[in-house]
Structure 1
Amino acid sequence: MPDAHDDNAAENRRPEILNWKRRQFLQRLGVLGAGVAIADRILLHPHLQVNAETNLSPTSQATPIKPGEIPRRKLGRTGVEVSALTLGGFHLGVPNEPEAIRIVQEALDAGVTFMDNAWEYNEGVSEQRMGKALQGRRDKAFVMTKVCTHGRDRKVAMQQLEQSLRRLKTDYIDLWQVHEVVYDNDPERHFAKGGVMEALDEAKRQGKVRFVGFTGHKDPAIHLKMLSYDYPFDTVQLPLNCFDASFRSFEKQVLPELNKRGIAAIGMKSLGGEGEPIKAGVVTVQEALRYAMSLPVATTVSGIDSLQVLRQNLNIARGFTPMTPEEMQAVRSRYATYAADGRFELYKTSKKYDGSPGREQHGFPPKEQVET
């Protein structure tokens, strides 16, 4: 829940939240029909456009945009629409706090509605900074954060949710995702009795979470194992870039399954994690981001650690036109050699990108004690 000094702001929004929770309860009883549910979404988030036809391609725009606007896309079958570019939360811990707040606010004002975060990012600093930045702007944002149990139980997950709500200074999370499903036995641990999946259900029942999903960057097989439980995920986050198609490919193995099920795909690591292929002069930011955004995804997460990077990526998104199938194949072919040994996707081949909380739960030394 929000901190005490934000009581007035929270109280002003209380009728909206209570009405939404009431509607959730009635929907579970089958009282409300689809038409009313769609109308409710518009009332909740007037800036997020709604289209009832959720069987369309995730990259199709439900509403036309003006030149210079950030493209908007349907979030799978949820009925909401979000910006095609997402502001990554981890990198908000890199600059000083005033600049991090400016990054969030400038992104929102530019039309980037989707905000990414996670309970464990920078030991909570990323959520805290985003929470400060969202004051007075919460209605513009589709807020996503991640639960970081890494195999721990439902109780830990619910405790983390309360901490995330306080840090983000909000009454509810638009999207709550299970973070970093990267170990082979993670699906079994998450779906075990008393596991984190029960927390996702409980959070939705309580009206503290609207939609749920999971994330991971290690192996397409782990994503497919999570999907094999046939849980009604709203979203799945996965690494998608111009190298992935040629190496342990999420694009080829997981993305088609998500589109088939109507689950919104959230792309990440469009620049390979920390921009290594950009630094090596192999690919440009514009080509890499444009390729990732041309895939059938709802949105692409971009790590932004400065106003300069934000403005660079905003310019790319504003002028975005999807690549043709021929252009995309040419890109895949052009970088296939670089992709073949995984040098630019170390999150698949090493532990470099595996967070310390997850390592600890699986008995590995923390990230600070090892290089990979």
Structure 2
Amino acid sequence: MGKRGSEEQGVLGSVAPMDEINSIRNKSVGLAKGSEKMEKRRLGKSDLWVAPLGFGGIPIQRVSQTDADGLLRLAVEKGINFIDTARGYTDSEEKIGVGLKGIRQEVILATKSMARNGVAMAEDVERSLRNFQTDWIDLYQLHNVRTDEEWAELTSPGGGLEALEKARDAGKIRYIGITGHLPETLSRFIKDYSFVSVQFPYNYIEQENRQELLAEITRQGLGTIIMKPLAGGALRQVGPALRFLLQKSFSVVIPGMDTIEQIEENSAQLSQTFTEQDAKVLELEKGELGQEFCRRCEYCLPCTEGINIPGLFLLEGYYNRYNLKQWSLDRYLGTAIKADACTECGVCETRCPYQLSIREKLKQVHALLS
């Protein structure tokens, strides 16, 4: 398939042309405290300039609207200006929309959809706009594209990409990006379409098999949005893990944050240097974790039997790696639906982007914690 799309995807239609959007931004009440101090990096070939530390929107599902408001305001005060979420993250878009009232112009909003056909994608764009309570979304991404079949549907006439192009031409979105967990497939897909950015997992543990993807990103000058910087919470040495990534030339790193302490700690890493001692600490963790661990992306959910799969794997991690054996046993004992409720239907494994043997791992968790 020939390359589709435009290298400069910023020419918009009559609803909210780029010069009008920029004018709205410039008329805002002023940058939040600290936002001018944080370095900004250009997101690919767009006119979006992002702070290297962004805000991942998955954990905000777990907090109240009041807490979400405070977290978002603090993040912007710290200079964080890239907010990423997804249609599939339950009420994350809604909470972000409410939390950013009055400061929408100061942030770059990114979301994504699992829709593959044009009708569903167009509906998701409209829903995202309503949830965010905004007239435009800066970056709309194809969410977790995994297979050639999905790609074929997205790129066919009437497919999801065509719907996003129409939304872009109408001024509803500004740029189009793609996200995924499989570097080898992403590297092929981005050769077929001129996206502005690619979002993929990268952290100290997960660096392998990304050479082709990184080379193609460099060749095209695409923006890089790094998810799972803490390996889905598996890396407990937050400072070294973030410093490792922030020293690189990625556009923006987006750890999920749902407490004030996390925002404070993560923001503090911007002024620190990655050291040899940091590398040694992370090497130890890498050796402990291996590759067969849950990144807590939650794509396996909902379980047909109601099992909180990532939650149980987290308890296993606390037992094995964090020396919280009795605490883990007590928590598992109090869990309403335990791992042995698994009927081995296998639905969760078809959703897991890391191809984990979830059914077997659930058996291991129950044997360990019972």
Say if 2:84 is the partner of 1:120: no
Which has more radius of gyration?
2
CA distance in 2, matches of 1:205, 1:20: 5
What are the within-5 Å matches in structure 2 for residues 232-311 of structure 1?
Answer: 232-245=194-207, 247=208, 249-250=209-210, 252-273=211-232, 275-278=233-236, 284-311=237-264
2:102 counterpart (125, 130, 136):
136
Say if 2:154 is the partner of 1:182: no
Asked if the contact 2:55/2:82 (under 8 Å) is kept, the reply is yes
CA distance in 2, matches of 1:356, 1:191: 27
User: C-alpha offsets along residues 72-115 of structure 1, whole Å, 9 cap, x if unaligned?
Assistant: 11111113211111111111111222111110111112211101
Tell me the secondary structure at the aligned position of residue 277 of structure 1: coil
What displacement does 1:40 show? 6.8
2:309 — aligned with what?
Answer: none
Q: What is the TM-score normalised by the length of structure 1? A: 0.70
User: C-alpha offsets along residues 269-318 of structure 1, whole Å, 9 cap, x if unaligned?
Assistant: 11001x1131xxxxx1111011122222110011001111111112223x
Count matched residues.
298
CA distance in 1, matches of 2:166, 2:301: 27
What displacement does 1:227 show? 1.4
What displacement does 1:355 show? 5.4
What displacement does 1:265 show? 0.7
Tell me the secondary structure at the aligned position of residue 210 of structure 1: strand
CA distance in 1, matches of 2:301, 2:120: 17
Tell me the secondary structure at the aligned position of residue 207 of structure 1: coil
Show structure 2 runs of 5+ residues with no match. 1-10, 29-33, 305-344, 352-357, 362-370
Asked if the contact 1:70/1:314 (under 8 Å) is kept, the reply is no
Tell me the secondary structure at the aligned position of residue 54 of structure 2: strand
CA distance in 1, matches of 2:148, 2:281: 31
Cα pair distance change 1:365/1:335, threshold 3 Å:
closer
What is the identity percentage for the equivalent residue pairs of Structure 1 and Structure 2? 26
Asked if the contact 1:115/1:142 (under 8 Å) is kept, the reply is yes
CA distance in 2, matches of 1:20, 1:192: 22
Q: Which letter maps to 2:142? A: V
2:167 — aligned with what?
Answer: 203
Cα pair distance change 1:199/1:82, threshold 3 Å:
same
1:105 — aligned with what?
Answer: 73
What displacement does 1:328 show? 9.5
CA distance in 2, matches of 1:270, 1:138: 26
Taking only aligned residues, the RMSD between alpha carbons, in angstroms, comes to 3.5
2:291 — aligned with what?
Answer: 342
CA distance in 2, matches of 1:184, 1:298: 27
Tell me the secondary structure at the aligned position of residue 276 of structure 1: coil
CA distance in 1, matches of 2:47, 2:221: 11
Cα pair distance change 1:198/1:306, threshold 3 Å:
same
CA distance in 2, matches of 1:299, 1:97: 25
